[in-house]
Structure 1
Amino acid sequence: MAKFRVGRVGEQIKKEISNVIQTELKDPRIGFITVTGVDLTNDLSLARVYLSILGSEEQKEETLKALGRANGFLRSELGRRVKLRHTPAIEFRFDSSIAYGSHIEDLLQQINQQSQES
């Protein structure tokens, strides 16, 4: 039963953090961000937020630093929007699955082109 609640709360946190980042944060260092997932601990004390960020490696690092500096604001906004007894701490991480999937798709297209040429 508790795992269903953790999943529901995680999805709500994902939705709210995505909304706050896109509408409330005005930092120019923050580029185009997609919140791809949220992992919550079972006691709801820590939320790992996975982000997909477009841009170069330098832009990704700057965006991550800017989000780290806005962590307190994001946590307070999350506490206002999601009614929980304790607002979880937020930890941001890169999600490289989209880039990895794109790389695999490119490799498959190259293999497909080579097989058609032979």
Structure 2
Amino acid sequence: MRKNSSKNIRINSEVLRELSNIIRKDIKDPRINPMTSVVSVDVAPDLKTCKAYISVLGDEQSQKDTLAGLVSAEGYIRRQLARTVNLRNTPEIKFVIDQSIEYGVKMSKLIDDVTKADAESHKED
């Protein structure tokens, strides 16, 4: 199976949906921030490994705690995933913090600051 085949895309979306449900509903670890979302999932073509990109709304410490909680619950998450998604192999999950949403908010704020400063400079002229 190739990386961007229709089967791999379907598997990625199914794993993404089920992983989101498991993290949101099943895990009771207090370290995991309730505002945790799975941004994307990249399952390897051989179905052995999976990178799950997660986004956590909160400070850096909250992100570290959430990542530690998810890593410690990886066995449980994988077991639940095996029950809900019918795959030949249940992939080993590696959680990665996705900074893209935070980066986008930061860039948007910088752009707003620049346009505000530009508008004030034109107002003075």
Residue 4 of structure 1 and its aligned partner are, at CA, apart by: 1.1
1:20-99 superposed matches below 5 A: 20-31=22-33, 32-99=35-102
Query: Taking every aligned residue pair, what percent have the same amino acid on both sides?
Result: 37
TM-score norm. by structure 2 comes to 0.90
- Structure possessing the higher radius of gyration over alpha carbons: 2
TM-score norm. by structure 1 comes to 0.96
- Secondary structure, in 3 states, of the residue corresponding to 1:79? helix
- Aligned-pair RMSD on alpha carbons? 1.1
- Secondary structure, in 3 states, of the residue corresponding to 2:40? strand
1:8-19 superposed matches below 5 A: 8-19=10-21
Residue ranges of structure 1 left out of the alignment (5+ in a row): none
CA–CA distance in structure 2, aligned partners of residues 16 and 47 of structure 1: 13
With 50-59 and 84-93 compared, the bigger mean Cα shift is at 50-59
Residue 98 of structure 1 and its aligned partner are, at CA, apart by: 0.1
1:6 pairs with 2:18: no
Residue ranges of structure 2 left out of the alignment (5+ in a row): none
Does the 8 A contact of 1:6 with 1:44 survive in 2? no
Query: What amino acid sits opposite 1:111 in the alignment?
Result: V
| Structure 1 segments of 4+ aligned residues over 6 angstroms from their partners | none
